[in-house]
């Protein structure tokens, strides 16, 4: 963890599916896993309802962008407040949905996102998903080109592939999460140079981050991988570990998502070149 100059950094994303009802789970997870940075989605609470005192008591500073009953994102940083750099995506000034928050913490820029689900499709919700995704891709390119260390973490509502990212695509063919337009946009992000951290370290393993409440999806491990952490080219070589804290999904009354995380190694100092005597 980022306790010292040479320590690694753990960054996580967690769709809490209601921060007030899942607060005990969130606090239990923060205490046990101690991520340095945590991106939260689906707060489902207005700004005034964000439990900042409990978060601070747990040792974290926070930024949040709430919305009553729906959406909402937050960035937590262990040991101090994140420094806000953006609220909402460029070019979407009239967007009333709280889906994107960006901040600097522990030496990295973190973009926390809750990409629209897009169901039902076809229809305005799917159109909004694609519009939002396009704006996000544009902003992601700007961040990537900045050469700053950046992590884009959140619930992307995209299942990248049939083979490894979903238990069985048969009954999901019409879902917005699997549509070609959705997947093409995710691929466009990766084509910019971003590294899908979890898939990079586990290239042939079926890994899930979401299990629907219906039809015993969790007991059957019938899951989907829709929560992703994308790393800029400065951070990708320092990727040490990545995983899913499945134990959180097994708690009574849990969110339908489990926290997903990466561990980033310390940046190596540049070697000093000794000057040759004339």
- Which of the residues are catalytic? 114, 155, 257
Residue 157 among known ligand-binding residues: yes
Residue 15 is assigned to a ligand binding site: yes
Cα–Cα distances in angstroms (integers) from residue 108 to residues 19, 82, 162, 182, 270, in the given order: 25, 10, 32, 27, 18
Q: How far apart are CA 188 and CA 9, in angstroms?
A: 27
Residue 256 marked as a ligand binder: yes
Distance CA 203, CA 217 (A): 23
Annotated binding residue 25: no
Structure tokens that stand for 62 in this block: 């926070």
Kind of pairing between the strands at 9-15 and 37-41 = parallel
Residue 44 near residue 69 (C-beta atoms within 8 A): yes
CB 44 within 8 A of CB 19: yes
Residues annotated in a binding site for Mg(2+) = 15, 42, 155, 157, 256-257
């Amino acid at each position: 963890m980022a306790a010292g100059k040479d320590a690694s950094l753990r960054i996580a994303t967690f769709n809490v599916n209601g921060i007030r009802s899942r607060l005990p789970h969130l606090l239990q997870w923060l205490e046990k896993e101690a991520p340095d940075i945590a991106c939260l989605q689906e707060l489902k609470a207005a700004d005034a309802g964000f439990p900042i005192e409990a978060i601070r008591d747990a040792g974290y500073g926070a930024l949040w962008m709430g919305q009553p009953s729906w959406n909402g994102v937050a960035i937590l940083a262990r040991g101090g407040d994140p420094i806000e750099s953006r609220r909402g995506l460029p070019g979407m000034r009239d967007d009333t949905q709280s889906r994107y928050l960006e901040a600097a913490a522990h030496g990295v820029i973190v973009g926390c996102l809750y990409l629209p689900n897009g169901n039902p499709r076809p229809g305005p919700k799917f159109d909004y998903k694609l519009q939002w995704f396009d704006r996000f891709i544009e902003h992601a390119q700007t961040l990537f080109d900045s050469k700053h260390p950046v992590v884009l973490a959140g619930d992307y509502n995209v299942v990248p592939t049939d083979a490894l990212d979903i238990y069985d695509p048969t009954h999901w063919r019409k879902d917005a999460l699997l549509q070609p337009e959705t997947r093409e946009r995710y691929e466009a992000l990766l084509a910019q140079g971003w590294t899908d951290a979890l898939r990079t370290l586990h290239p042939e393993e079926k890994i899930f981050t979401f299990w629907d409440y219906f039809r015993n999806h969790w007991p059957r491990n019938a899951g989907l991988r829709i929560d992703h952490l994308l790393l800029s080219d400065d951070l990708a070589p320092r990727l040490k570990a990545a995983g899913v804290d499945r134990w959180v999904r097994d708690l009574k009354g849990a969110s339908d998502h489990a926290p997903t995380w990466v561990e980033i190694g310390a940046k190596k100092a540049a070697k000093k070149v000794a000057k040759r005597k004339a």
